[in-house]
Structure 1
Amino acid sequence: MSCTQTLFQTTSKIAALARSGQMTCARKLFDEMPHRDSVAWNAMLTSYTHLGFHQEALSLFRQMRISDTVPDHFTLTATLSACASVCNLRCGTKVHALVTVLGYQSHLPVNNSLIDMYGKCLDPSSARRVFEEMKLRNEVTWCSFLFAQTNSSQFDVARHVFSMMPRRVEIAWNIMIVGYARYGEVESCLDLLKEMKESLCQPDQWTFSALMNACAEALEFWHGCMVHALTIKSGWSSAAEVKNSVLSFYAELGFHGSAVKIFESTGILTQVSWNAMIDTYMKQGNTHEALLVFQRAPEKNIVSWTSMISGYAGNGHGDEAAKFFVDMVRSGVQPDDFTFGAVLYACSSLAVLGHGKMVHGIILHYGFHAYVFIGNGLVNMYAKCGDLQGSVRAFSDILQKDLVSWNAMLFAFGLHGQAIRALQVFKEMVENGVKPDNVTFIGLLMTCSHNGLIEESRVLFETMGSVYGISPEMEHVACMVDMLGRSGYLAEAKELVDKYSEVGSAETAHVKLYLVLAPHKGTQDLEENWAKV
């Protein structure tokens, strides 16, 4: 058998093994080849990209460049596809330079792959340059360029590109609808659906899936029900993509029973659906079922882990939340800001300083300490774990403090009985141009109440309306009644209860006033005094 025949047969075996999912065997056979041509390299490259092994594809491409094999257009398109899938703009730019060196800058599939890569790497200007330099374009070119604009939220440009398309195929309509859906622009999506039907293009499962996702993103229940009805009428309700989107919609809007029914009746589930069900069961308080779904899920991403951590924390199982966080880090999944926010909440509820410091160390390791959301969580965590100085340091480390940051520091001082320092934080907050909200005044009034600062509370209660335009709510009135009642100003407390009875604050305030009298009076005296006030 000739060397050429052997090479052809081995390459065919590699492709066959890859098609059956046996990538380890395919790679072993590839590595054992004494000689490899571009066809053999391309067989491995395309197999890696088609099966989602994008990093392995890029690694193989680098090995190919070291060898004496010259890449061809199949090599370039496969490598650009891998760059696009992992959003590796740096690598994609280098491949673009190689395209020019090898003389493929006029090759249609290569140019289409370049536009796709730049679009997925959020570089619409580079995608535009490639598009404008192309002498020959097809539907793939136009759709790839359109996606590059919608993926970077360049909707004005996308609209112009869409209007200039020689032929608006179904995928172009779907690109536009999916783009708007990502930002919850339900009205824009529905307008496009209407235009799509008028142009005699029929919506498919991807169209309806995007529309349901838009309604979920915008929490538009009635629009979602309408789209669901259209889906059923159009005959796409049984499509796996649509079922998964409908499931996510009902789960997101809190219709957990409907979500569970769809979940149990859907054969092929996406990762989004598995995550939606974890979230659904956690919101129901059913942590056991959530764990079973998590364990059954074929793949687990950052959202899966974070849903479990936040779900356990929200249901009062801080220990389990912390355990899941440790397991997640050990499994090699990198936490994001939402993960850290959830685990910090768990540490706060446990009030275990050691756990909190461990998480803080991991936050520093991954570089999330500059996120204001994380900084706010650290201030709260240290305060609830008894380390006030830790709260102060975390607050100082927040570069761009928002209202939540100031409120968190204010509550931290209040929690530790430092009323004067809490009032100082309030003063600094106002001086920095941050307008307080109703939560700010709840924290201030509670702090003053627990420290017996009667006059300061009166001033704060007055200024929240007269200076900051905040109407007293039930919690504010209850704080005042609690403080006045405990300090013996029963008539003033009763006056507040009567004054704010019309705004729905009186019921809790009455209970508060009744309770503060209880430690000082017998039952009979209490009833007599209550009748008097």
Structure 2
Amino acid sequence: MKASSRHLSTSVNSSAIPFQNPSPISAGTSQTIQSLAAVGRVADAIRLIVLCRSRGKLVNPNAFISILRPCATPKTLILGRQLHGHMVVSGFVDDTFVCNHLIHMYGKCGFLDDAHSVFNGMMKKNLHSWNTLLACYCKFGFLSEAERLFDEMPKRDAVSWNTMIAGYDQHGPCEEALQYFVWMRRSDCKVDHFGVSSVVSACSNLRSLRNGIELHGFLAKLGLHSHVQVGSALIGLYGKCIQLEAARKVFDDMGIKEIFTWNSMLHAYIKCSKIEQALIFFREMPEKNVVSWTTIVAGCSQHYRNEDAILYFHKMQEVGLRPDKASLVSALRACTELLDFEEGFKIHSLILKCGGGHDVIVGSVLVMLYSKCGYFTDAINVIDGMLLVDDFSWSVLIAEYAKHGMIDNARKIFESLEVKSIPIWNALIGGYSELGMDGEALEAFRKMQMDGMKGDEFTFGSLLMGADLLGLRYGEQLHLQTLKLGIDSSVFVGSALIDMYSYNLESEAAKRVLYLLGEPNTVCWNSMISGFGLNKLDTDIINIFCVMMILGVIADAVTFSLALDSCSNLLALNEGLQIHALACKFGLDSNVVVGSALINFYGKCDRLSCALHAFNELQEHSVVSWTALIGCYMRGGMWDMAKELFDMMPERNIVSWNTILSGCSKLGLPLEALQHYHQMSKLGLLPDHITFVSMLSVCSNFLLEENGKQFHAQIVKAGYHVNKHVSNAMTEMYQKFAELSRNEFSSGLFHTELGNEIAEPASPSRKY
């Protein structure tokens, strides 16, 4: 407890009082003292009290109380202490009413020893005295002291019980709040809305839906369920327990709704991941405060509606509200996701104007923004301006240096730190792993162990990334260590283990890892499905997707896209139609990832009209969805339509070009293939192994010997001659040329090259 520097004596000899029979001060003087205190002139009010006392005038207790109230802040506490001294001299330490306010003043400022000293020195204590000190202990989380005081109380009322319940709800353990409520019901105290609001909040914190529903029924019998404070707490409970319909019913049944009721319902929508409904509800709110705006900004940021998060952040300022720390952090995170340096810089300027540049949380998000955008000088400047730099900021800086290929800078920052925590070691190990420097990652892990740190789930998750290259034996050794440390059931480690075993074609081992996880999340299930895909087990993917649905696992866009890809590979139209229906039920059919998978699925199943419909249903189109639709038309032999769509594309990547080149090869359009390759090269886009396989196939099928040799030269230059698929395509091409040459079966096409010399791709700097 925060102790005061000294304790004032609470027993005063009567001879210390200079005026034995002081006369009361006039009502006007008493009113003046209270008026001075009300306008913040506390020192003047105290001086007037001293003046009255020196003239032998008795001060009214209300004058003391009017000064004690504004003194209940750390800044004015010194004046409160002065007044306490005058109370001792004046004999007011025996006044129960005044002393209760004195306890409250010390308690509100966090000086609990002083509050307890005043309480102990009181000649007469009433129930309010006990409750005031009890509230002081509970406010600052000194619940053991609060329990002792509660047990000593000669009498308790509803305020006493409610204070204990609220204390445990706020500071935990929340189970104790429920226990005190049970004891309260067994006592003769009447349950009111203050106590039950805290109990509902405790159920909410515990995510205890069963207790919450029972409590709701009990409150309905008492008629308290429709109280604005209780109803808002119930909405919060159902929201946290992902029971949106129940939350909305409570909201609709409430007669009176305050702004915090609307905010509770808004938060419930966001907690249940219904961001579209949350946005509609937000627009319908009759009144909005800072909490409302902060909630919607944070909700948009959490659900990857980053543009909306920034938009509402600006609208919040347009209506004249000053953003709080939570809204600033959410807006900065949205900028980070978008890699929007300019917008983040503007928000940073606003933070500096508000004087929040030294905050640890804000600073760490700024470090993440600048380093992810590659502005490392700005990130380091933020760190230099922070009063306290947390491990998160250092970890992000090290990790981002590594991701940007600046591993030497990452190592330099790491080595400059005197104290290296596990998150900082993880940043370096993860950086090595992402760059494929698995030997260095393993060496860093050994040094970490020599420093006495065994690592955590993130350490092993990063190390398992390197098991793809270092082999199954290395991965199994890491798996054994996770078993020894008891972190094998972590969803992060479990997901990495599933990936590792799947990559090494050990599907059964991957399946065992999944089934041994206590509560595998969607990421783990997706890893398992992706692993089956690596092993060409498309039927198993559909089966495990069905198991997910039966178990009630919430599938995401990645889950649906992987399942639809399997249906595409199997040409399983019926199963794909059912998965499409489920995607509609989950509201994911308009998602660009799922939509692209649907387009590809319907295209492979020769349902071009369905593919076009899926394309048109997308909320926004990406290069992936455009490419998927072009692929459908190419498979259907509709070159003109595919070419028209390709020309309409707002953006193209290497996959788009490969789709059109592969289609030209299959449709027997060698001239168009060479022309498009020439266009791609002029744009400076580097070909990959799929590009070269398609072009070698064109040269092979149409006996373009000179063009084939030119491609061979470019393949060697780019380093793709070692690629298995490219090497096989070249071998097949030369075998055709040799066979025709041996049989002296020449044709005009064999000795003819189409077009001029093939354009060289711009600066092929990749190494394979």
TM-score with structure 2 setting the length: 0.52
Match of 1:308 in 2: 296
| Residues 498, 372 of structure 1: alpha-carbon distance in 2 compared, 3 angstrom cutoff | farther
> Is the counterpart of residue 501 in structure 1 residue 510 in structure 2?
yes
Distance 1:294 1:91 in 2: 44
Residue 478 of structure 1 and its aligned partner are, at CA, apart by 6.3
Distance 1:342 1:122 in 2: 31
Match of 1:444 in 2: 431
Match of 1:221 in 2: 209
Asked whether the 8 Å contact 2:297–2:331 carries over to 1, the reply is: yes
The answer to which of 242-251 and 269-278 deviates more is: 269-278
Residue 380 of structure 1 and its aligned partner are, at CA, apart by 0.8
Residue 242 of structure 1 and its aligned partner are, at CA, apart by 1.6
The answer to which of 466-475 and 320-329 deviates more is: 466-475
Query: Residue type matched to 1:59 in 2?
Result: G
Over the matched positions of the two proteins, sequence identity in percent amounts to: 23
RMSD: 4.6
Residue 171 of structure 1 and its aligned partner are, at CA, apart by 1.4
1:187-226 equivalences in 2 (<5 Å): 187-226=175-214
Q: Which one has more relative contact order, counting CA pairs under 8 Å at least 6 apart? A: 1
Q: Secondary structure at the match of 1:296?
A: coil
| Residues 441, 309 of structure 1: alpha-carbon distance in 2 compared, 3 angstrom cutoff | same
Q: Which runs of 5+ in 2 are unaligned?
A: 1-25, 53-58, 472-499, 515-526, 537-654, 656-687, 698-723, 729-768
Distance 2:83 2:353 in 1: 32
The answer to which of 374-383 and 244-253 deviates more is: 244-253
Distance 1:263 1:42 in 2: 47
Distance 1:269 1:250 in 2: 17
1:379-437 superposed Cα distances (whole Å, 9 cap, x missing partner) = 111123331221233345556544422331133213423233335555667x7331149
Q: Secondary structure at the match of 1:254?
A: coil
1:413-465 superposed Cα distances (whole Å, 9 cap, x missing partner) = 13423233335555667x7331149974784256304xxx4644676799999
> Is the counterpart of residue 468 in structure 1 residue 458 in structure 2?
no
Give the one of 356, 362, 377 matched to 1:374.
362
| Residues 83, 317 of structure 1: alpha-carbon distance in 2 compared, 3 angstrom cutoff | farther
Residue 362 of structure 1 and its aligned partner are, at CA, apart by 3.9
Asked whether the 8 Å contact 2:399–2:430 carries over to 1, the reply is: yes
Query: Residue type matched to 2:194 in 1?
Result: W
Q: Secondary structure at the match of 1:37?
A: helix
The answer to which of 156-165 and 224-233 deviates more is: 224-233
Q: Which runs of 5+ in 1 are unaligned?
A: 1-34, 46-55, 485-491
Give the one of 105, 111, 120 matched to 1:132.
120
The answer to which of 246-255 and 321-330 deviates more is: 321-330
Distance 1:369 1:471 in 2: 30
Distance 1:497 1:522 in 2: 28
Residue 230 of structure 1 and its aligned partner are, at CA, apart by 3.3
Distance 1:463 1:506 in 2: 32
Match of 2:275 in 1: 285
Asked whether the 8 Å contact 1:380–1:391 carries over to 2, the reply is: yes
Asked whether the 8 Å contact 1:477–1:509 carries over to 2, the reply is: no
Distance 1:135 1:332 in 2: 52
Asked whether the 8 Å contact 1:478–1:512 carries over to 2, the reply is: no
| Residues 224, 142 of structure 1: alpha-carbon distance in 2 compared, 3 angstrom cutoff | same
> Is the counterpart of residue 391 in structure 1 residue 391 in structure 2?
no
| Residues 295, 186 of structure 1: alpha-carbon distance in 2 compared, 3 angstrom cutoff | same
Asked whether the 8 Å contact 2:399–2:410 carries over to 1, the reply is: yes
Match of 1:262 in 2: 250
> Is the counterpart of residue 109 in structure 1 residue 97 in structure 2?
yes
| Residues 122, 472 of structure 1: alpha-carbon distance in 2 compared, 3 angstrom cutoff | closer
Asked whether the 8 Å contact 2:336–2:369 carries over to 1, the reply is: yes
| Residues 212, 92 of structure 1: alpha-carbon distance in 2 compared, 3 angstrom cutoff | farther
Q: Secondary structure at the match of 1:59?
A: coil
Distance 1:207 1:387 in 2: 51
| Residues 44, 215 of structure 1: alpha-carbon distance in 2 compared, 3 angstrom cutoff | farther
Distance 2:38 2:319 in 1: 23
Give the one of 61, 64, 80 matched to 2:68.
80
| Residues 482, 185 of structure 1: alpha-carbon distance in 2 compared, 3 angstrom cutoff | same
Q: Secondary structure at the match of 1:243?
A: helix
Match of 1:15 in 2: none
Distance 1:124 1:318 in 2: 45
Task: Point out the structure with max Rg over C-alpha.
Answer: 2
| Residues 458, 187 of structure 1: alpha-carbon distance in 2 compared, 3 angstrom cutoff | closer
1:47-62 equivalences in 2 (<5 Å): 57-59=38-40
Q: Secondary structure at the match of 2:171?
A: coil
Match of 1:231 in 2: 219
1:22-41 equivalences in 2 (<5 Å): 37=28
Query: Residue type matched to 1:186 in 2?
Result: C
Query: Residue type matched to 1:258 in 2?
Result: A
| Residues 416, 471 of structure 1: alpha-carbon distance in 2 compared, 3 angstrom cutoff | closer
The answer to which of 188-197 and 458-467 deviates more is: 458-467
Distance 1:359 1:337 in 2: 12
Residue 367 of structure 1 and its aligned partner are, at CA, apart by 4.7
Query: Residue type matched to 1:508 in 2?
Result: S
Residue 215 of structure 1 and its aligned partner are, at CA, apart by 2.1
Query: Residue type matched to 2:287 in 1?
Result: R
| Residues 520, 391 of structure 1: alpha-carbon distance in 2 compared, 3 angstrom cutoff | farther
Question: How many residues are treated as equivalent by the alignment?
Answer: 471
Query: Residue type matched to 2:174 in 1?
Result: V
Distance 1:367 1:307 in 2: 23
Q: Secondary structure at the match of 1:153?
A: coil
Query: Residue type matched to 1:312 in 2?
Result: C
Residue 348 of structure 1 and its aligned partner are, at CA, apart by 1.6
Give the one of 289, 296, 312 matched to 2:287.
296
Residue 285 of structure 1 and its aligned partner are, at CA, apart by 0.9
Q: Secondary structure at the match of 2:506?
A: helix
Q: Secondary structure at the match of 2:379?
A: helix
1:317-354 superposed Cα distances (whole Å, 9 cap, x missing partner) = 54554455456568786655433322221222343333
Q: Secondary structure at the match of 2:159?
A: helix
Distance 1:74 1:280 in 2: 46
Match of 1:3 in 2: none
Asked whether the 8 Å contact 2:348–2:366 carries over to 1, the reply is: yes
| Residues 412, 94 of structure 1: alpha-carbon distance in 2 compared, 3 angstrom cutoff | farther
Match of 2:398 in 1: 410
Query: Residue type matched to 2:156 in 1?
Result: R
Residue 377 of structure 1 and its aligned partner are, at CA, apart by 0.6
Asked whether the 8 Å contact 1:403–1:436 carries over to 2, the reply is: yes
The answer to which of 456-465 and 187-196 deviates more is: 456-465
| Residues 400, 521 of structure 1: alpha-carbon distance in 2 compared, 3 angstrom cutoff | farther
1:237-290 superposed Cα distances (whole Å, 9 cap, x missing partner) = 233322121112222333333222222322334554333223233442135335
> Is the counterpart of residue 241 in structure 1 residue 229 in structure 2?
yes
Residue 144 of structure 1 and its aligned partner are, at CA, apart by 0.8
